[in-house]
């Protein structure tokens, strides 16, 4: 090869490298991205940011909270992209080309609010608290191609539509409940559940830990609660329980995702597992038989015995020490075997026990029969709001979980293979198309802390069962709790939800393909696009 040819080849190589390095950003419309929950405000600028193997994540020096979220983001995108982005501490992250996560001193931003600015050169995510950064990362996650959810390396590009998103939740409490008492689910299943609700900006996991069919949390001062009371479940199969170390593992895992765990010890009813474990908790001083059916309302602690309150004080004390969140849920529903006057005095006394352990009480709205402290919460679950209104009249705030709208264990329709329908069928539209603050006359926004979608466990035995009843309804509950009413419409939401099909698939979610949703078929879309191009 002569010198002239070598020079021409080198020049051609330099030109190609220059052209590659000056690659024009792909035009993308941020307004057409199908985000759930829908952001507070969004302005599209028509371009994109290309995340490559060279892209770094920058955080402010001495900001440990932003470092934690940056590490989460780096770990999140690594399996599918093959990138191992460096997280660097710098003085001015917003000036760097790449991804910047910044904690702002601006107190106008709420604890969970964030601002996301995406240009061709950089992505700047800013929040007042680490929780806001974390929820902003979930938005970044949804803006990336759905294959970001896979755990094997995929071909790029990995582009984010450019623009500005300003976002904040409408309600501070956005939760889901998992019943592990009727059927027991292990630590890894609970972690999976945590990851699924975190992806849609839900911040509370309510664990229903005890019921007639099983006691699922180790109490060291009363060991037979788990060794005997936790040994079975609905249907008579082997049960299980969490050691205190395992419970702490769940709590810590949730905390890393800015989710608060609220444990529930249901009482004075729904207590047969405890009554079968200790004779002294029964009025006749005899243990009951373990129960593996699904009936409710037949069991009660003896509310007259001092040993009952010693038992409760021990249980709440051990649980409170393991639970960093401010609430303990005491149940209080369907105590049909407890006389009303005994029930009222019981709730009043247990509320004081919870307070003595520096926690606040939550109870199903039935507890409004007692004299509630104003820092307690009542959970509206029945189809009629009478008990919840009694709580409001005591200046107690409400968690909205009406069974005929928010219960995840209600069947979608009459042929749904899982779930119940005592509160009616709850299809995807019915689950979404209601207003938290105007659902019940006498309960307005100022009385409400937020929404929770409970999943009761009578019919669920596997993680696939959980996912089938939870999805696709859960993203709708997340949006009801996060997005302002002015942003909500069923017609728009059903389109955005349908576009989640590919993401659900990559996340390996066993979801119910509701006929009410126009599920997007990406393969057919590609074929149509190719034909149109030709």
pLDDT tens-digit series, residues 413-427: 999 999 999 999 999
Q: How confident is the model at residue 527 (pLDDT cuts 50, 70, 90)?
A: very low
What's the pLDDT at 524?
Answer: 46
SS3 content of the chain, % helix, strand, coil (to 5): 40, 20, 45
Q: How confident is the model at residue 9 (pLDDT cuts 50, 70, 90)?
A: low
Annotated active-site residue 334? The verdict is yes
User: From its phi and psi, is residue 297 left (phi > 0), alpha (psi between -120 and 50) or beta?
Assistant: left
Residue 455 in contact with residue 470, Cβ under 8 Å? yes
Residue 109 in contact with residue 115, Cβ under 8 Å? yes
Q: Where would I find the beta strands (DSSP E) of 250-376? A: 260-264, 327-329, 360-364
Q: What is the 3-state secondary structure (H, E, C) of 352-397?
A: HHHHHCCCEEEEEHHHHHCCCCCCCEEEECCCCCHHHHHHHCCCCE
- Tell me the per-residue pLDDT of 75-118, one tens digit each, with 9 for 90 and over: 999 999 999 999 999 999 999 999 999 999 877 778 999 999 99
Q: How confident is the model at residue 522 (pLDDT cuts 50, 70, 90)?
A: low
Burial class (CB in 10 A: 0-12, 13-18, 19+), 360: middle
Burial class (CB in 10 A: 0-12, 13-18, 19+), 191: middle
Closest CA relative to residue 222, chosen from 261, 280, 299: 280
* Cα 275 to Cα 302: distance, rounded to the nearest angstrom: 10
Average pLDDT, the chain: 94
Angle ∠(140,253,465) on CA atoms, nearest 5 = 85
Name the pairing type of β-strands 377-380 and 397-400.
parallel
Q: How confident is the model at residue 491 (pLDDT cuts 50, 70, 90)?
A: very high
* Cα 428 to Cα 350: distance, rounded to the nearest angstrom: 38
Catalytic residue among 334, 373, 437, 461: 334
Residue 135 in contact with residue 112, Cβ under 8 Å? yes
- Tell me the per-residue pLDDT of 384-421, one tens digit each, with 9 for 90 and over: 999 999 999 999 999 999 999 999 999 999 999 999 99
Tell whether the model's pLDDT for residue 486 goes beyond 80: no
């Amino acid at each position: 090869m002569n010198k002239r040819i070598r020079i021409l080849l080198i020049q051609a190589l330099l030109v190609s490298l220059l052209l590659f390095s000056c690659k024009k950003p792909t035009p993308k419309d941020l307004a057409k991205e199908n985000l759930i929950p829908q952001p507070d405000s969004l302005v599209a600028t028509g371009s994109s940011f290309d995340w490559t193997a060279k892209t770094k994540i920058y955080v402010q020096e001495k900001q440990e909270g932003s470092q934690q979220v940056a590490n989460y983001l780096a770990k999140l995108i690594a399996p599918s992209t093959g990138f191992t982005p460096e997280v660097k501490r710098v003085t001015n992250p917003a000036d760097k080309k790449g991804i910047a996560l910044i904690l702002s001193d601006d107190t106008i931003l709420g604890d969970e609010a964030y601002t996301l600015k995406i240009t061709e050169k950089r992505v700047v995510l800013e929040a007042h608290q680490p929780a806001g950064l974390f929820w902003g990362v979930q938005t970044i996650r949804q803006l990336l191609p759905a294959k970001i959810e896979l755990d094997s390396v995929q071909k790029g590009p990995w582009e984010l539509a450019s623009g500005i998103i300003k976002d904040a939740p409408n309600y501070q409490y956005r939760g889901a409940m998992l019943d592990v008492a009727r059927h027991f689910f292990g630590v890894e299943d609970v972690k999976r559940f945590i990851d699924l609700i975190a992806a849609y900006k839900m911040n509370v996991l309510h664990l229903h830990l005890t019921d007639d069919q099983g006691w699922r949390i180790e109490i060291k001062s009363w060991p037979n609660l788990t060794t005997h009371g936790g040994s079975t479940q609905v249907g008579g199969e082997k049960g299980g329980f969490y050691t205190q170390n395992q419970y702490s593992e769940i709590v810590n895992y949730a905390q890393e995702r800015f989710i608060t765990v609220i444990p529930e010890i249901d009482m004075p009813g729904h207590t047969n597992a405890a009554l079968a474990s200790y004779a002294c908790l029964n009025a006749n001083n005899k243990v009951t038989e373990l129960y593996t059916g699904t009936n409710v309302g037949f069991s009660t602690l003896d509310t007259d015995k001092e040993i009952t309150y010693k038992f409760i004080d021990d249980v709440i004390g051990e649980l409170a020490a393991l639970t960093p969140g401010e609430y303990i849920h005491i149940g209080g529903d369907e105590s049909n075997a407890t006389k009303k006057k005994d029930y009222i005095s019981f709730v009043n006394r247990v509320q004081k026990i919870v307070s003595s352990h520096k926690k606040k009480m939550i109870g199903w709205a039935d507890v409004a029969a007692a004299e509630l402290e104003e820092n307690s919460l009542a959970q509206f679950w029945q189809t009629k709001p009478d008990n919840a209104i009694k709580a409001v009249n005591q200046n107690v705030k409400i968690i909205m979980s009406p069974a005929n709208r928010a219960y995840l264990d209600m069947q979608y329709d009459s042929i749904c293979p899982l779930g119940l329908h005592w509160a009616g069928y709850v299809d995807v539209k019915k689950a979404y198309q209601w207003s938290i603050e105007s659902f019940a006359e006498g309960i307005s926004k100022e009385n409400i802390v937020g929404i929770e979608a409970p999943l009761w466990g009578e019919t669920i035995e596997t993680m696939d069962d959980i996912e089938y009843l939870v999805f696709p309804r859960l993203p709708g509950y997340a949006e009801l709790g996060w997005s302002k009413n002015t942003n909500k419409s069923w017609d728009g939401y059903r389109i955005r939800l349908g576009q989640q099909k590919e993401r659900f698939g990559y996340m390996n979610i066993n979801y119910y393909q509701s006929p009410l949703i126009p599920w997007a078929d990406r393969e057919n879309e590609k074929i149509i696009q190719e034909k149109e191009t030709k």
